[in-house]
Structure 1
Amino acid sequence: MKRCTALRPSSLRASNQHLGQRWYSYDKASLTKEALLQKVEAGLGQDAEGKSLKIDPETKTVSTEAGDLPISPIFDPAWMQARRKTAKAAPGPPLGRFRRKLANNPFAQALATPIRRCPNSATSLPRYFLQDFEMIRHPQTGAAWWAPGPLAFEHVLPTKRPDESQADRDNERDKAAAAAELVSASAPDSSDTTTGSARPRRSPITSYTVSRKSMVDMVGGPNKKYLALLSAIRTGMAVTPDTRDAVWREDMGGLLLGMMRRHATDALIARGNRPHGPKDRFIQPCVNWKDVEGVRERGCVIWLPENSDGPRQYATLDVEGAQYGRKMVVHNLRWLLGDNEVQRLRDSAEVFHKGEIFVLKQWASTSMMRLHMLLWKLQGYLAEPDTGSSPLTMRSPSLQLIQPENWAQPNMPTYNTPIFLIHDGSGTTLAYQFLEILGRYTYGIRNPHYYSGKVFEGGISEMAYLYASWIRQTVQDKDFPAKKRNMDGSTSIFLGGWSLGGLLSMEVARQLAMDDVVRVAGILMIDSTFPGVDVSSRDGSSEDESSTDEDEAIMNKIRSKSCMAEAVRMIRQWRLPQWSGRLYDRRPKVVLLRARNYVPTKEGRTVGMDLNREDPLLGWGDYDEEMFSNVYDVDGHHFNMFEYDKISNMTRTIKKGLDRLEEASQMMMYESW
């Protein structure tokens, strides 16, 4: 196996001994003013007469033959003392039974890891709950690759014989295993490979994702936004142009799962094959579940059922009468490790030759602690939410959740108003998939006739009637996350959309105006021009070209053009909704996002949606001069507003508009219908 190296720009290849460290601290005794003064004077040397140059820290001068001269600030002991960090003293041994138990508790150790942030879910969690990915160089091509970092695997295997009762020290082999294993699958020639060589230090480009297989698979999916976010948060000298095109394996989720399973199995085999002393020092077999209560130093239960039936996620065993360890985790190893690794465990570890119930004990050992944490990390990595009661499940496949309020807790109830974004003229919701985190439940509605080519004979009114029914059914679902109710018992939502989606939002809001279940509290229109102008070329918005298959991409273009032609027909026949009489007070607030630039054309002509581009209201003053509560300009023209380089600004502006609608809806809650 060839050695792979951390991706590091040439400007960082200095010989500084502290370069690989992200921080450096100093002994307290070396940071006193006297010690710093002595160190600086030792480096100044002597004058022409052989006398040592002396610094006066009070007057901040240095004595020379020419007299006292001011010193540079970097020679000032007070400045040096303020800039340098003092090394913390090593913690003493835990005192008391509770503190000793807490220090040896894997769950407490997991919560004590440093806080890191997952850019794709916008979640900050202890590092244990995240998976680190490092950027490395391919050993053959030199290209940048993303590789799983070592944090999940380091210190899992004992470095001495598996009898130690004190903290282990890793020999750095685990640190290289993750990166070397990732690139080995892509290296066709391994005849000249070497083994056992470890990278001297970690890569300066490290990013994190929530440690869940579904999240890792999402990063490697067709939407490249999630992969781009991994490196988007990193800046500085370590980020070079070649790092922006780093390769991400499509099977990264399965690869990482296999690596964790192998490391866990290897550690269990090492603990189960004990050459000296009692065989059950670390793993004790139990005849039945009652015997678990009598095991000393209980850690967790590892269960090896004969078949794959049995509890998988979050199974526990209660131990009656225990002061500590009253609730024990039960790991179903057949589900956790897979049949192949379970068979290897049975064949290779003497203690696992027979039996189903085993207790993995707790010892004051780093490797034992890491093994407990790795098993629990595997449990979380494979965990999946109950799709039967998830807001991801909609009444129609054309209405889908684009993003929850919090990716780490996709089923979490919310008091923020959710938004339903309706497709543009192309019939797809592809543009909304590229948005960054909005911080609220965001649903997308695409054209249900996108693939069939059918049309809505009743035009926009018929289409809006169907979408209104879907929204109503979704809001009525008992698992709909919005828990805030209005005084009349209805649930507030926002509607919105790009181009045609904004017009459809108006019609849907009008049809739900008298509804007793749904209250449309606001509309977000994204560059939706007044339909009173020429619409012959109003939409070319977001053709779905996410497919990597060339024929499928061509078909998607054809489908999108067909949808846009149908949208033009429907807009020409559409009569704008009227809010007269008692409907006037039910009219929702509207925020408009307006493109700054004109659409460029070869002939220099002005396309239909730009006829009112100079008008801040995009022509809607002919409908109602007080229609919009706020108008915000965004970068780009109508057709490139959602391109990658503009998506961050677009997301911020959308969040700004939704916050404005949220404020307006809260004021309306106190108004009578």
Structure 2
Amino acid sequence: MYEYVRNPSLIHEGPLSKARLPVFLVHDGGGTAFSYHLLDRINRPLWGIENAKLQDGGWWDGGVPAMAAHYIELLGKVMPEGGDILLGGWSMGGLLSLEMAHQIALTAREAKNREGEAGDSGASTPKAPIFRVRGMIFIDSIFPLRLAELVGPLPEEPVFLSAEESRKMKLKDKVNLNMTHARMMVRFWQVPQWKDIPVPPTILMRAKEFVSRDSDENFVDYTRDLRLLGWDQYNEDHGHFIRDLWEVNGHHFSIFDIKYLDDVTRKVRKAADKLDPPDF
């Protein structure tokens, strides 16, 4: 059913006895999928997508839409026949999931229109894998409006690492550079407007705690006092696609700490089963 490639990486296989929709979790701003590899099994296939330009610094000239388009191509390498999937991610991973789901929905609609035209003319066209996002899981993904202005000054130009620079740089420093570039790209991202296309049903998980008030990273809490982490108006404008709101232990940056792994694993599993109920 699946092709095995490096990215996305297969974290857990699903049970052989039941065919359940796979979950693809997209990287956070730091670019790695490491946190998802800490999760226990969720009784269905679990994949992690890392930033394909992680080693180069994480910058994409086309920003968030270009990243999403490339990751959809990666899905096609794993599932060359296409199919139904669940998407999600921590922090920026939720934003990328939203962009990917929108592009996937537009592609599916265009393919359907082409089929109708081909049927009328008798012509046929090569088929690319067609996906359908049955649901999304946002793990403490805050609405990006005003985010860039709250994280302090950002560089005017991206940094591109040469092969030698990348080899010498520690992973932690690459992650920090990826994070800076992620904020720069989100600053210019236009959140998708779905119009007549329904947004896949989504479960939003929010961290229970605030990051330390003295931390340079407490910008992630600027919507913490808002029930839907700032998604309220967007959610209302798009058919209340956020179907459930669940709390997870820890603050934004500690959700995947060892002491909280059981909690977040259980809730990712529960969210997937809510969006794609198992047939017992």
| Alignment of structure 1 residues 74-473 onto 2, 5 Å | 391=2, 393-394=4-5, 397-406=6-15, 412=16, 414-453=18-57, 455-473=59-77
Q: Which residue type is aligned with residue 654 of structure 1?
A: V
Moved more, 466-475 or 492-501: 466-475
> How many angstroms apart in 2 are the aligned matches of 1:458 and 1:606?
26
The offset of 1:494, in angstroms, is 0.3
| Secondary structure of 2:170's aligned partner | helix
**Aligned equivalents of 2:96, 2:211: Cα separation in 1:** 23
Q: 1:606 to 1:577 in 2, by over 3 A?
A: same
Secondary structure of 2:247's partner? strand
Counterpart position of 2:204: 592
Change (3 A) 1:555 1:623: same
Pick closer, same or farther for the CA change 1:404–1:611 going to 2, 3 Å: same
Letter in 1 for 2:263: N
Look up the equivalent residue of 2:60 and give its one-letter code. F
1:508 corresponds to 2:100 = yes
Partner of 1:565: 180
- Which residue identity does 1:588 align to in structure 2? P
CA distance, structure 2, for counterparts of residue 417 and residue 504 of structure 1:
19
Aligned partner of 1:655 in structure 2 is 269
Secondary structure at 1:623 match in 2: helix
Return the alpha-carbon distance in structure 2 between the equivalents of residues 555 and 502 of structure 1. Answer: 26
With over 3 angstroms needed to count, the CA separation of the structure-2 counterparts of 1:491 and 1:431, relative to structure 1, is same
* Residue-by-residue CA offset, 1:244-280 (whole Å, 9 max, x unaligned): xxxxxxxxxxxxxxxxxxxxxxxxxxxxxxxxxxxxx
1:217-244: CA deviations, max 9, x gaps?
A: xxxxxxxxxxxxxxxxxxxxxxxxxxxx
1:522 corresponding residue in structure 2? 135
Alpha-carbon distance, 1:537 to partner: 4.2
Instruction: Calculate the aligned-residue CA RMSD, in Å.
Output: 2.4
- Any gaps of 5 or more consecutive residues in structure 2? 112-129, 153-166
User: Residues of 2 paired with 1:443 and 1:492: CA distance?
Assistant: 14
CA contact (8 A) 1:423 1:498 kept: yes
Match of residue 164 from structure 2 = none
Q: Is the 8 A contact 2:64 2:185 kept in 1?
A: yes
Distance 1:648 1:463, change over 3 A: same
Show CA shifts across 1:139-186 (max 9, x none).
Answer: xxxxxxxxxxxxxxxxxxxxxxxxxxxxxxxxxxxxxxxxxxxxxxxx
Separation (CA, whole Å) in 2 of partners of 1:662 and 1:553: 44
Q: Is the CA contact 1:392–1:400 (under 8 Å) kept in the aligned structure 2?
A: no
Give, in angstroms, the shift of residue 469 of structure 1: 1.3
User: 1:595, 1:633 within 8 Å by CA — same for their partners in 2?
Assistant: yes
CA distance in structure 2 between the partners assigned to 1:454 and 1:502 by the alignment: 17
For residues 383-416 of structure 1, the C-alpha deviation after alignment (integer angstroms, 9 at most, x for no partner) is xxxxxxx84612xx3211011114xxxxx47421
| Alpha-carbon offset, residue 498 of structure 1 | 0.2
Question: Which residues of 2 match residues 489-504 of structure 1 at below 5 A?
Answer: 491-504=83-96
| Other structure's SS at 1:569 match | helix
SS at match of 1:522: strand
Q: Distance in 2 between matches of 1:452 and 1:419?
A: 27
Match of 2:246 among 629, 632, 642: 632
Q: CA deviation at 1:495?
A: 0.3
Provide the residue aligned with 1:608 in structure 2.
219
Q: Report the count of equivalent residues.
A: 240
CA distance in 1: counterparts of 2:3 and 2:77, whole angstroms: 14
Per the alignment, residue 233 of structure 2 pairs with: 622
Q: RCO higher in 1 or 2 (8 Å CA, sep ≥ 6)?
A: 2
Gaps of 5+ in 1: 1-389, 407-411, 478-489, 539-551, 667-673
Aligned in 2, Cα 1:421/1:553: closer, same or farther, shift over 3 Å? farther
The answer to whether the Cα contact below 8 Å between 2:203 and 2:243 also exists between their aligned partners in 1 is yes
For residues 479-498 of structure 1, what are the structure 2 equivalents within 5 Å? Answer: 491-498=83-90
Q: Secondary structure at the match of 2:10?
A: strand
Aligned to 1:290: none
* Equivalent-residue separation in structure 1 for 2:96 and 2:170 (angstroms): 25
> In 2, are the aligned partners of 1:423 and 1:501 still within 8 Å (CA)?
yes
Give distance in 2, aligned partners of 1:392 and 1:653: 27
Q: Residues 71-98 of structure 1, C-alpha deviation per residue, up to 9 Å, x if partnerless?
A: xxxxxxxxxxxxxxxxxxxxxxxxxxxx
Equivalent position of 1:209 in the other structure: none
Structure with larger Rg: 1
CA gap of 1:554–1:507, structure 2 versus 1, over 3 A, is same
Residue 522 and residue 614 in structure 1: after superposition, are their counterparts in 2 closer, same or farther (change >3 A)? Answer: same
Matched residue type, 2:10: L
- 3-state secondary structure, aligned to 2:194: coil
Distance, in Å, in 2 between the alignment partners of 1:647 and 1:553 is 32
2:205 partner amino acid: L
Q: CA shift at 1:452, angstroms?
A: 2.1
Q: Tell me how far apart the structure 2 counterparts of residues 441 and 653 of structure 1 sit (CA, whole Å).
A: 15
Give CA-to-partner distance per residue, 1:539-564, whole Å, 9 cap, x none: xxxxxxxxxxxxx9970111001100
8 Å Cα contact 1:621-1:627 kept in structure 2: no
